[in-house]
Amino acid sequence: MNFPEYQTVRCEPDGNVLVATLNRPEVLNALNTRMGHDLFDLFSRLTVEPGAFRCVVLTGAQKAFCAGGDLKERDGMTQARWQAQHELFERMFVALLECPVPVIAALNGPAFGGGLEIALCCDFVYAARTAKFALPEVKLGIMPGGCGTQNLARAVGERRAKELVLTGRPFTAEEALAWGVLNRVCEPEALQAEALATARTVAANAPLSVRQAKKSIHYGLQQDLLTAYRFEIESYNRLVDTEDRREGVRAFNEKRQPVFQGR
């Protein structure tokens, strides 16, 4: 699968893993309109036609993951332009949330505002020990608008989410790990390697199984237990009559590694 030459996102294949790097280092990879278009296109393409890609590592160039919305671009925006831009961002966040290919965020530096919201939309999150985080929107007269109030509350609980959102205070990687925002804290020099190792582990599994399981977890959590279980079984049943299911069982009995084709 070939991607366009995005202006703000660098895409580099690593076997069945795609490494996508937010690439505006001169402004700490701040989210502007162009990046909104680029990310929306990227995750829409991965949804429609993932090709050989079975996992994505999303990181930032140089010293930051993403400093949040580009306030220099937003300075002086009319209400109509601001809302049009935010509509684009909303579609981008939804495209990321609903992307069937698992996305691992590798936070190499600060993730503030919309940058942290991008990370919270990913399936799981690794971060450098030195990284800092915040949702400081209330200090700017707005509030989180990239699913931040929803994803953060689901990760850390209602009371902690209210504390972090209503104060806007920054927090550390160690705090984020203890509260459930992060899956793993890494030494800065090891972050990329650890995220890639996990992505390769995911990519080695049956891709249809991974996508169905991701969907079942994501949507099941929005329903009561028995309804969610019915959804899980529907997802499970779609895997029974696949070549990968037959290959997986055959490989197990032949004591070899399976070769999954995504069919």
Question: Could you tell me whether strands 103-107 and 17-22 are parallel, antiparallel, or unpaired per DSSP bridges?
Answer: unpaired
Residue 12 annotated as catalytic = no
Residue length of the chain: 263
* Active-site hit among 5, 137, 158, 243: 137
**Residues 95, 47: Cα–Cα separation, whole Å:** 8
Which has the closest alpha carbon to 126: 54, 164, 177?
177
Q: Kindly calculate the radius of gyration of the chain based on its CA atoms and give it in whole angstroms.
A: 19
Which has the closest alpha carbon to 40: 80, 78, 3, 1?
3
Q: Are 173 and 182 in contact (CB under 8 A)?
A: yes
Lateral strand order in the sheet of 111-112: 111-112, 132-134, 171-172
* Active-site hit among 12, 49, 117, 243: 117
**How far is Cα of residue 202 from the mean position of the Cα atoms in its chain?**
14
**Residues 18, 58: Cα–Cα separation, whole Å:** 8
Residue 137 annotated as catalytic = yes
Question: Could you tell me whether strands 171-172 and 132-134 are parallel, antiparallel, or unpaired per DSSP bridges?
Answer: antiparallel
**Residues 256, 238: Cα–Cα separation, whole Å:** 25
156's enclosing H/E stretch is: helix 148-156
SS3 content of the chain, % helix, strand, coil (to 5): 50, 15, 30
Q: Which residues are marked as active site?
A: 117, 137
